[in-house]
Structure 1
Amino acid sequence: MAHEVLDAIGRRAEEIRALGPVNETLGRLDDQAAKVLRESGAVRLLQPAAYGGFEAHPREFAEAVMALAALDGSTGWVAGIVGVHPWEMAFADPRVREEVWGGNRDTWVASPYAPMGVARPVDGGYVFTGRWQFSSGTDHCDWIFLGGLLGDAEGRPVQPATSLHLILPRSDYEIVEDSWDVVGLRGTGSKDIAVAGAFVPGYRVIPFAKVADGTAAREAGLTNPLYHVPFSCAFPLGITAAVVGIAEGALAHHLAYQRDRVQITGTRAADDPYALYAISEAAAEIGAARAALLDNACRMYDAVAAGREVTFEERAVGRRTQVRAAWRAVRAVDEIMARSGGNAMRSANPIQRFWRDAHMGLAHAIHVPGAVFHIAASAQLGMDPPPGAGRAMI
């Protein structure tokens, strides 16, 4: 059962927490950190039961990611990113699922989905070339989802653009070393990926439009409501859950630090009403971010479980809720960080690492508010959504 995952995380919490600085130093998850995460079962929460998965409620997936991220931001982030890929793999051709999980149910699949490659049609499939950034946890993955554009016979993207998700084994792509030098989430090892003319058979390709509009899940004959939750809810969920969990971790470290801290004025932080006010305000904001994100996932799940299609307006408002949850949580972290004093910025103090991780997570494209807020407001006003790339993720 899914609750076993949270229990497993709790049992190994101190180990996960202690490996956080090690992950950061390595620039990827330490092998032991990846082993602990794999053994927790968190990445299998959305995986089909036929391949050892839990087919858990999206809320349970988000809660596990938050629990991990509160212990170590990078571990939680990898769980959130890699953990959503089994959800889409459930839509793939049965031959792909067997290739990926037939011999090992704990095989991990990386990404990114950004269409940074071009797939040229050939007999039986495509010849695929491109380069991608931000492949989180990729050192510990044996397969990958890569976004690409359908090309013509000369390898030029066709118009209008047609986005594809292509699935490749580790032998068909290169992980570009020394391509992940950043200020936050260093332990995620989100390196570049390069593909040079790999052949991808047609059965390992999923049109993104079919994933986005739910056709892929219906064609796969899936009955669990989990797989009919909109992509625009399921995909961002693990990412934003990681950010909220990181904020919870930052708050926990701030509380531990402030409990015995004496300010330069000689006043104990625990006796400073302004410090206490900041703690309460931040805790309330982070709690509200958590509640909003989980409620949104539950609403989407309940709608599809009742056999109802989620409307465009509901999807747009849901995306707004998800984006706002991330911003709300990180702004709260800024408030407590500003009241933690200069010693909080020392490398040995974990608060600064959680603060950096939170901002790195907020920088993910899924958290850019402009187009999402514009589209959500337009939908609620009964207006046609504006054209542009932002609509693709609603």
Structure 2
Amino acid sequence: MSTATRPEAPDATRAVAPAVSPSAPALVPDDPDGLGPLAGARRLRDVAASHAADADRTGVLADEVVALIRDAGFARHLVPVEHGGHGGGFGELNRAVALVGEGCAATAWCASLAAYSARFVGHLPAAGQDRVRADGADALIATALVPGGRAVPESGGWRLAGQWNYVSGIRSADWVLLCAPVVPEGPREPGVPPELRFFALPRGAYTVRETWDSVGMRATGSHTVAVEGAGVLVDAELSFARQELLAGRNAHSPLPLHNLPFRSVAGLPFVVPALGAAAGALAACAATVTGRRRTETNELRLVRASAKIDAARLLVAEHAAVLDARAFSPESLARGERNVTFATELLREAVDEVVRAAGTGGLGDSSAVQRLWRDVTSATSHVALQYETFARSSYAAVLLGPKEG
């Protein structure tokens, strides 16, 4: 698929795998999870789950898991067919990432960001895209969205130096996209902010400082990237303006996947791994609620948790459908931001219910429940998933109209 929209299968409800909510519509028989070209996500979930405890302890995804992220097609999923990718949809990406998250939230996070970062590469000039994908569309890309460092114009390109924090998946990345202000030598015009640009660097052109030490999502390896000393010279073909990404304007490609406003994805890359992790925690806990532990209180906690997870799944699925249909309007985009933020709130509440039902045993070092609970807590702290970032102001304007004055 390139410019056409792939028909979406209805969303499955996998609150306690493999059960399906009675109200959930049936999926096509040959694709029960609605994964499309990402059917390899099933195996990735199972293999990642077998390594999850070690990954949490060491802070590193197993080589086998990284290879399966690549082989399952996450990096190529949002790359257009014309460039060797799937040209896939957001709905099937959501379902695949959530499925992986049931086994290992950190793996799902890295798989999700591999997909979205590969889409960003489409903003590079054609020659730059060719360089990044010289070995195929499965190149793993990491991205530093928050500006850091500085870039000084030099020899038809820029000399880039500095450091960038919280770059998920950087240890396994083939390339990284770094956002930096362009600071010309000499005096700057007062009151004019510097231009912000992204710069693509291959592995070996930067160093990684192991600074990530979160209570959850430990194996995302969201470390600091540093370009040290005099910096590195970046060619013009390996850079694009940040404003193009934010506005969804692409000077180098007319393809729809390359022309989506940045805010239109509304936190989907970050909330869906948490959705999968919450479903995994629920399933892990439900397996232990037997015999004397099957009390009315624990039944109620798990029923409430399952409803919140299902509701969160429906909210993010609704927004993915808007993206796949390219049905953009100020109202639909604001609704997406609200949906994702409220889904985040529901998932935090759901795993709190689950961990209470799990009791002391669920908090043991060997319990998947406590690991997934920590992962959801960490993932949902991301700034893109907070009401104050986008949803409060954007959806308030839909409900109440523009602010006066």
Preserved contact between residue 84 and residue 234 of structure 1 (Cα < 8 Å):
no
Indicate if the aligned counterparts of 1:230 and 1:315 stay in contact, CA closer than 8 A.
no
CA contact (8 A) 1:5 1:64 kept: no
State the Cα distance separating 1:59 from its structure 2 match.
Answer: 0.9
Aligned equivalents of 1:181, 1:327: Cα separation in 2:
24
- 2:401 counterpart letter in structure 1: G
Partner in structure 2 of residue 214 of structure 1: 248
Residue 168 of structure 1 aligns with an amino acid whose one-letter code is L
Q: Deviations over 1:323-363 (max 9, x none)?
A: 22112112111112122111111000110000000011011
Aligned alpha-carbon RMSD (Å): 2.3
Select 1:174's aligned residue among 207, 211, 215. 207
Pairing 1:204–2:238 present:
yes
Distance 1:5 1:156 in 2: 50
CA spacing shift, 1:33–1:155, aligned 2, 3 Å: farther
C-alpha contact 2:42 2:100 (8 A) present in aligned 1: no
Question: Is the alpha carbon distance of 1:385 and 1:13 closer, same or farther for their aligned partners in structure 2, counting shifts above 3 Å?
Answer: farther
Match of 1:110 in 2: 142
**Do structure 1's residue 56 and structure 2's residue 85 form an aligned pair?**
no
Render the CA deviation track for 1:108-149: whole Å, top value 9, x for unaligned.
Answer: 111111011222222311111221111111111111011112
Measure, in 2, the Cα distance between the counterparts of 1:114 and 1:13: 30
Indicate the SS of the match to 2:240: strand
Instruction: Say if 2:74 and 2:114, in contact at 8 Å, map to a contact too.
Output: no
Cα distance in 2 for residues equivalent to 1:375 and 1:385: 13
* Unpaired stretches in structure 1, ≥5 consecutive residues: 263-267, 305-309, 387-394
Q: Are the equivalent residues in 1 in contact too, given 2:216–2:377 (CA < 8 A)?
A: yes
Task: Determine whether 1:230 maps to 2:261.
Answer: yes
Q: Is the 8 A contact 1:28 1:190 kept in 2?
A: no
Give the superposition deviation at 1:93.
1.0
Please give the alpha-carbon distance, in whole angstroms, between the structure 2 residues aligned to 1:85 and 1:311. 24
Structure 1 residues 156 and 109: alpha-carbon distance in aligned structure 2, compared to 1, 3 A threshold? farther
| TM superposition shift of 1:4 | 5.1
Given that 1:16 and 1:36 are in contact with CA atoms closer than 8 Å, whether structure 2 keeps it comes out as no
Paired position in structure 2 for 1:148: 180
> Residue 20 of structure 2 corresponds to which residue in structure 1?
none
* Maintained 8 Å contact 2:153/2:184: yes
Shift of 1:205: 1.4
What secondary structure sits across from 2:179 in the alignment? strand
Task: Name the counterpart of 1:390.
Answer: none
Q: CA deviation at 1:12?
A: 4.8
1:339 aligned to 357, 376, 396, which one? 357
Unaligned runs of 5+ residues in structure 2 are: 2-33
Higher helix share: 1
TM-superposition CA deviations, 1:212-255 (whole Å, max 9, x none): 11211xx33333x4444332133722211111111111111111
Q: Residues 44 and 303 (structure 1 numbering): CA distance in 2 closer, same or farther, change over 3 Å?
A: closer
Matches within 5 A, 1:122-141: 122-141=154-173
SS at match of 2:144: coil
Is residue 257 from structure 1 mapped to residue 288 from structure 2 by the alignment?
A: yes
Give the structure 1 partner of residue 297 of structure 2.
Answer: 274
**Match for residue 131 of structure 2?**
99
Paired positions, count: 369
Structure 2 counterpart of 1:369, from 376, 382, 387: 387
Choose which of 221, 242, 252 in structure 2 pairs with 1:189. Answer: 221
Select the residue among 47, 72, 82 that pairs with 1:40.
72
Helix, strand or coil at the partner of 1:75? helix
State how far apart, in whole Å, the 2-side matches of 1:375 and 1:313 are: 12
- Alignment correspondent of 1:307: none
Q: How far apart in 2 are the matches of 1:240 and 1:353?
A: 17
Indicate the residue corresponding to 2:402 in structure 1: 383
Structure 2 residue 323 is matched with structure 1 residue 289: no
Check if 1:303 corresponds to 2:326: yes
Q: Is the 8 A contact 2:44 2:65 kept in 1?
A: no
Percent identity, aligned pairs only, is: 25
Counterpart residue identity of residue 256, structure 1: A
Q: From 198, 204, 207, give the equivalent of 1:165.
A: 198
Shift of 1:6: 4.2
Q: Is the 8 A contact 2:270 2:385 kept in 1?
A: no
Alpha-carbon distance between aligned partners in 1 of 2:325 and 2:49, rounded to the nearest angstrom = 34
TM-score, length-scaled by structure 1 = 0.87
Cα 1:11–1:374 change in 2 (3 A) is closer
Report the TM-score, using the length of structure 2 for normalisation: 0.85
Shift of 1:96: 1.4
Shift of 1:293: 0.7
Distance 1:148 1:180 in 2: 21
* Counterpart contact for 2:38–2:73, Cα < 8 Å: no
1:295-349, Cα deviation, whole Å (9 max, x unpaired)? 1121233235xxxxx3344323321221221121121111121221111110001
Residue in 2 aligned with 1:73? 105
Equivalent in the alignment of 2:54: 22
Question: Displacement of 1:373 after TM fit?
Answer: 3.3
Q: 1:153 is paired with a residue of what secondary structure?
A: coil
SS of residue matched to 2:288: helix
